[in-house]
Amino acid sequence: MAATWIKPLHVSKGKSLMQTIAERVGYAKNPEKTQGGLLVTGYACDPRTADEEFVLSKREYEYLTGRNNGRKNVIAYHIRQSFKPDETDAETANAIGHALAMSFTKGKHAFIVATHTDKKHIHNHIILNSTAISCDKKFNNFKQSGRAVRRISDLLCIQYGLSIIENPKPSKGCNYSGVKEPSWQDRLRVKIDEVLPSCTSFEDFIAATVTAGYTVNTQRKYITFLAPGQKKPTRLDTLKGDYTEAAIRERIAEGNIISSGGTCSEITSQVRSENTPGLLIDIQAKIREGKGAGYEKWARMFNIRESAKTLLFLKDNGIDSYGDLLQKASVATAEFSALSERIKVLDARLKEISTLQKYIGQYGKTREIFHKYRASGWNSGFYEEHRADITLHRAAKKYFDGLGLKKFPKMADLKQEYAALAAEKKKLYSGYRAKKETLREFAAAKANCAKLLGVRNDGQERGGTQKTAR
């Protein structure tokens, strides 16, 4: 019985943007509540460095748009999703939370999902970045967003066979009314995920769905499925994603039964392996907890995959030691900061030139009217007749006086300077995203190396000597 709410987050009083985000993300990721961090997953960010990545995206947003609402700015959104005690397990809850966040953000915003098990009822804390992954937009917290979150959550719970609150009471930030039943397409997706693990061929899959009660027509151009009580059949190709004929055949051939509606342990594994460089897993600890051979196999593959990613990154960047990694990461950070500052300077000058051009044109167009006004002895009737032009002329004059200009620069010179600066900005910005991605890779590599090599933050091996990363 999932209960859900959403809350916008602002910069806390007396704290910086970085401190506020780190505090909220840190609370969600609390290892004492998330089984040592195993129940923390992410999308479009590394959960270990999510706070830094969120702040980095906001800086880029300011550079791109010039917008900053200060203390009124919504920096992130916090979604809390609780489940009825003893009705679901932690991995299932985490998978549902991930699916909820993906559906609600449409995959346009980075987020982390942290599942807490410290209370009798398992619950998720979802922190989503208000700034889009593209860094040129922010999330629009529409009027009924709380209700939308609840409806998505209820639909997912129905699909997973969990109970829901039939008549929820309105709460702060939420405005619920009713629950939407899953569509025939949603039900077919769930059924596909149920039968697919036991299928070794596409023909087995068709037979399994028929056994499950579906009427399947394979004679038409598009395969259709008709469930008991359904009036109009569902075409397989309309499901898209992991549920088209080609996708299902591929999943059967590769033994890959992971999907947005698959079994929860499989979904959680996919989220961790594909979206999160993640904390390397302590296999032996998990075996002692009774996870079994299947978990051991998955954990070993996860560690091997993550170790390989880190090793390739180190080789590609010519890094031989952890100290070298720290030094090159520092250089990359300095280069990115310098690039960001230069773009900021260019933006300021481009804006200044644009404003100057506007006022020069405004001054020239209204100069004759103002001269006539002065020649009239500041006649009030003339002023009322030409109020708009006189006001514009005075505004331009005030702007020039503020700059201390005695002589206007030539418009041709301004246009030439603007074109040159705009070209420089375009050239610099072509490498901006690449440098940002490099910073993210360095952060992930440092975290993985620290875990793999057992080094401290100062680059020394826990025994005291410097560790190489070969």
Averaged pLDDT, groups of 10, the chain, 470 residues long: 78 88 93 91 91 89 82 89 89 93 92 93 94 90 81 79 63 39 78 79 87 87 89 87 81 54 37 36 41 51 60 73 82 85 89 90 91 91 90 89 84 90 85 80 75 53 46
pLDDT for the residue numbered 207? 87
- Where does the chain hold its CATH 3.30.930.30 domain(s)? 3-181
Burial code of 330-358, b = ≥16 C-beta within 10 A, e = fewer? eebeeebeebbeebeebbeebeebeebee
Contact 280, 452 (CB under 8 A): yes
pLDDT for the residue numbered 257? 38
pLDDT for the residue numbered 220? 82
The C-alpha atoms of residue 77 and residue 8 are separated, in whole angstroms, by 4
Joined together, the tokens standing for residue 121 give: 């009822």
pLDDT for the residue numbered 276? 34
pLDDT for the residue numbered 70? 72
CATH 1.10.287, domain 317-470, yes or no = yes
Residue 235's alpha-carbon distances to 159, 184, 193, 239, in angstroms, are 20, 11, 17, 7
- Where does the chain hold its CATH 1.10.287 domain(s)? 317-470
Range list of H helices, 50-142: 50-65, 90-105
pLDDT for the residue numbered 22? 92
pLDDT for the residue numbered 204? 85
Q: Please choose, from the candidates 97, 27, 19, 17, the residue with its C-alpha nearest in 3D space to the C-alpha of residue 57.
A: 17
CATH of domain 3-181: 3.30.930.30
Q: Please choose, from the candidates 139, 156, 129, the residue with its C-alpha nearest in 3D space to the C-alpha of residue 44.
A: 129
Contact 9, 75 (CB under 8 A): yes
